[in-house]
């Protein structure tokens, strides 16, 4: 009984001082905030960062649709999908924040992407971007398979691209670029 009490006191002392770390579970104690934080291996963090800020990622998609809206006004499906892309960005940012991974707070693609010359070309750009986005998540899901929260977000974003965005852009393409 005395041994259990001593061990409990040592563990409690380490927790209070913010020194105890559970490396196997990926937890670190943050003495400054008083909360536990998850951590990611660099390779997994890189995959999540790519989903956000890579050339086929959510920032790039958002900037592409923003450029189209700036050029052509409030046309569909670009306006609705732009709103969805902002939710995708927020979901990935939440994951990165949860794991303490730094990422560009500002979208580096905004203002660097030119709108296609016609709305029909814009619709084709949307089709191509969503196909590339699905392929990105297909390639990355295996790398995050040990992290159910990331798998859930990646799977949801992949499904949105495949089941909602891609068909919307295909329909727009059939109708000359919008609907």
Per-residue pLDDT tens digits for 23-58: 333 333 333 344 445 789 999 999 999 999 999 999
Residue 118 predicted with pLDDT over 90: yes
Residue 170 is predicted with a pLDDT of 98
Its pTM stands at 0.78
Confidence of residue 8 (pLDDT cuts 50, 70, 90): very low
Rounded to the nearest integer, the mean pLDDT of the chain is 85
Residue 37 is predicted with a pLDDT of 59
SS (H, E, C) the chain: CHHHHHHHHHHHHHHHHCCCCEHHHCEEEECCCCEEEECCCHHHHHHHHHHHHCCCCHHHHHHHHHHHHHHHCCCCCHHHHHHHHHHHHHHHHHHHHHCCCCCCCCCCCCCCCCCCCCHHHHHHHHHHHHHHHHHHHHHHHHHHCCCHHHHHHHHHHHHHHHHHHHHHHHHHHHCCCCC
Residues 125-153 have pLDDT tens digits of 999 999 999 999 999 999 999 999 999 99
The CA distance from 41 to 100, in Å, is 11
Residue 3 predicted with pLDDT over 50: no
What CATH number matches the domain at 40-174, 3.40.50.1980, 3.40.50.980, 2.60.410.10, 1.20.1260.10? 1.20.1260.10
The CA distance from 36 to 112, in Å, is 38
For the chain, the domains span 2-36, 40-174
% pLDDT > 70, the chain: 79
Residues 68-96 have pLDDT tens digits of 999 999 999 999 999 999 999 999 999 99
Query: 140, 47 in Cβ contact below 8 A?
Result: yes
């Amino acid at each position: 009984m005395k041994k259990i009490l001593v061990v409990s006191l040592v563990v409690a002392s380490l927790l209070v001082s913010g020194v105890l770390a559970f490396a196997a579970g990926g937890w670190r104690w943050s003495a400054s905030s008083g909360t536990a934080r998850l951590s990611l291996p660099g390779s997994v963090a890189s995959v999540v960062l790519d989903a956000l800020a890579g050339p086929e990622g959510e920032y790039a998609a958002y900037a592409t649709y923003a450029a189209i809206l700036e050029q052509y006004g409030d046309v569909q499906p670009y306006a609705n999908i732009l709103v969805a892309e902002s939710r995708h960005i927020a979901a990935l940012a939440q994951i990165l924040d949860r794991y303490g991974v730094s990422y560009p707070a500002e979208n580096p693609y905004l203002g660097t992407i030119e709108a296609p010359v016609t709305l029909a070309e814009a619709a084709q750009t949307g089709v191509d971007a969503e196909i590339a986005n699905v392929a990105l998540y297909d390639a990355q899901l295996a790398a995050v398979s040990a992290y159910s929260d990331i798998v859930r977000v990646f799977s949801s974003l992949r499904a949105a691209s495949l089941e909602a965005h891609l068909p919307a852009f295909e329909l727009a393409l059939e109708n000359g670029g919008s609907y």
